[in-house]
């Protein structure tokens, strides 16, 4: 018990002193919900609250990683340290995440002041946004000014992740039918800034005007102007303009209290649900009750619903 506490404290202290290794290990232990994680986060928490979080989303191949790679040095130039959270879709079969995106991000991966963390969607079912928030807090506490969360914008889970950001970029590319697909996936409307990447390709202006029409139709729903920035991530074209828009956007929404409140509320409730679920699973598995319940259901002697009802009323009498 004492040893466990010591290990957490050591990791936190070493992270404070700039050890990237300790920081990575600390994140892993929190992600794994190692014993003592709640206490560790209580130590970390008071140092949070300074970092600004930018979500970068868009369909696979839109150039999110290349954009991240070009944005990062721009922030560094301005004296802002950067943390990157890259969320990989994971294969449920192999358990491994694809590393292609990491290869594209090689420009920043070894740069001083930049900390890159990959997160797999696997194992964080329903809790991906929660896990990302923990990582954001840890990076925040240990001095990152800007945290970029890069995620394939598909699936409800990933939409939830970008919702935790202070500002979200949606990256589109010409000629891919990105417009309609993005609407389908529900990511178009969470954009604070649109980026039309690969804007040297045919159809870029068309895409800009398509997005603009869509925004015009939605007028009234949006209380603010959504900029559309054209970039060529591979050459860095337009990236400076994007940084300017980002910093402006972060400045202007810094004090949106109602939104902050909603976010904290959601965070507390999600954290609570996850912890309660974990307790239930652990307790029930240990007691062997789950095995007998499964047998009864398979034998059709009982139904799952009456079992649930019994347990819930016993917990909450």
Nearer to a copy of itself, 110 or 305 (CB): 305
Among residues 80, 190, 226, 250, which is the contact residue for a copy of itself, using CB under 8 A? 190
**Is 226 near a copy of itself (CB under 8 A)?**
no
Nearer to a copy of itself, 86 or 247 (CB): 86
Binders of a copy of itself among residues 134 to 153 (CB under 8 A) are 152
**Is 163 near a copy of itself (CB under 8 A)?**
yes
Among residues 108, 116, 185, 196, which is the contact residue for a copy of itself, using CB under 8 A? 185
Copy the structure tokens of residue 126: 């329903």
**Is 292 near a copy of itself (CB under 8 A)?**
no
Nearer to a copy of itself, 111 or 253 (CB): 253
Q: Long-range contacts of range 42-46, CB-CB < 8 Å, 24 or more positions apart?
A: 43/8, 43/9, 43/12, 44/12, 44/137, 44/138, 44/141, 45/137, 45/141
Binders of a copy of itself among residues 18 to 37 (CB under 8 A) are none
Among residues 189, 210, 237, 240, which is the contact residue for a copy of itself, using CB under 8 A? 189
CA distance 261 to 254: 13
**Is 9 near a copy of itself (CB under 8 A)?**
no
**Is 297 near a copy of itself (CB under 8 A)?**
yes
Query: Helices (DSSP H) in 18-142: which residue ranges?
Result: 20-31, 37-44, 64-77, 100-104, 106-109, 128-141
Q: How deeply is 286 buried, as exposed, middle or buried, from its count of CB atoms within 10 A (0-12, 13-18, 19+)? A: exposed
Count of residues that interact with a copy of itself, criterion CB under 8 A: 79
CA distance 24 to 102: 16
| Least distance CB 309 / a copy of itself (angstroms) | 5
Among residues 42, 110, 255, 286, which is the contact residue for a copy of itself, using CB under 8 A? 42
Among residues 183, 200, 256, 287, which is the contact residue for a copy of itself, using CB under 8 A? 183
Q: How deeply is 267 buried, as exposed, middle or buried, from its count of CB atoms within 10 A (0-12, 13-18, 19+)? A: middle
Query: Strands across the sheet with 52-58, in order?
Result: 114-120, 82-88, 146-152, 52-58, 167-172, 193-196, 228-230
| Least distance CB 206 / a copy of itself (angstroms) | 19
Nearer to a copy of itself, 71 or 185 (CB): 185
Among residues 5, 78, 103, 126, which is the contact residue for a copy of itself, using CB under 8 A? 126
Q: Long-range contacts of range 246-252, CB-CB < 8 Å, 24 or more positions apart?
A: 246/54, 246/71, 246/167, 246/169, 246/193, 247/78, 249/167, 249/192, 249/193, 250/52, 250/54, 250/166, 250/167, 252/224
Among residues 10, 19, 29, 41, which is the contact residue for a copy of itself, using CB under 8 A? 41
CA distance 308 to 297: 12
| Least distance CB 261 / a copy of itself (angstroms) | 6
Binders of a copy of itself among residues 249 to 288 (CB under 8 A) are 257, 260-261, 264-265, 267-269, 271-273, 275-277, 279-281, 283-284
Among residues 89, 174, 238, 249, which is the contact residue for a copy of itself, using CB under 8 A? 89
């Amino acid at each position: 018990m004492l040893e466990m506490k010591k290990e957490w404290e050591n990791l936190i202290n070493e992270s404070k002193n700039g050890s990237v290794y300790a920081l990575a290990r600390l994140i892993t232990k929190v992600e794994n919900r190692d014993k003592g994680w709640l206490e560790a986060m209580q130590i970390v928490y008071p140092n949070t609250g300074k970092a600004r979080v930018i979500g970068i989303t868009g369909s696979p191949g839109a150039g999110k990683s290349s954009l991240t790679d070009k944005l990062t040095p721009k922030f560094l130039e301005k004296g802002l340290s950067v943390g990157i959270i890259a969320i990989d879709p994971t294969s449920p079969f192999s358990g491994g995440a694809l590393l292609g995106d990491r290869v594209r991000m090689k420009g920043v991966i070894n740069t001083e002041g930049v900390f890159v963390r990959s997160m797999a969607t696997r194992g964080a079912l329903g809790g991906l946004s929660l896990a990302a928030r923990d990582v954001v807090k840890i990076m925040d506490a240990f001095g990152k000014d800007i945290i970029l969360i890069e995620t394939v914008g598909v699936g409800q889970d990933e939409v939830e992740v970008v919702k935790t950001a202070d500002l979200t970029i949606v990256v589109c590319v010409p000629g891919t039918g990105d417009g309609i697909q993005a609407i389908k996936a529900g990511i178009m409307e969470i954009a604070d800034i649109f980026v039309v990447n690969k804007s040297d390709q045919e159809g870029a202006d068309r895409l800009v005007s398509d997005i603009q029409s869509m925004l015009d139709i939605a007028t009234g729903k949006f209380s603010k102007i959504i900029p559309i920035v054209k970039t060529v991530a591979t050459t860095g074209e337009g990236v400076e303009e994007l940084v300017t828009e980002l910093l402006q956007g972060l400045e202007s929404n810094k004090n949106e209290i109602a939104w902050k409140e909603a976010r904290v509320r959601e965070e507390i409730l999600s954290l609570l649900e996850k912890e309660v679920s974990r307790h239930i699973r652990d307790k029930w598995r240990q007691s062997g009750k789950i095995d007998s319940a499964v047998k009864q259901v398979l034998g059709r002697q009982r139904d799952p619903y009456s079992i649930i009802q019994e347990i819930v009323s016993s917990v909450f009498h």
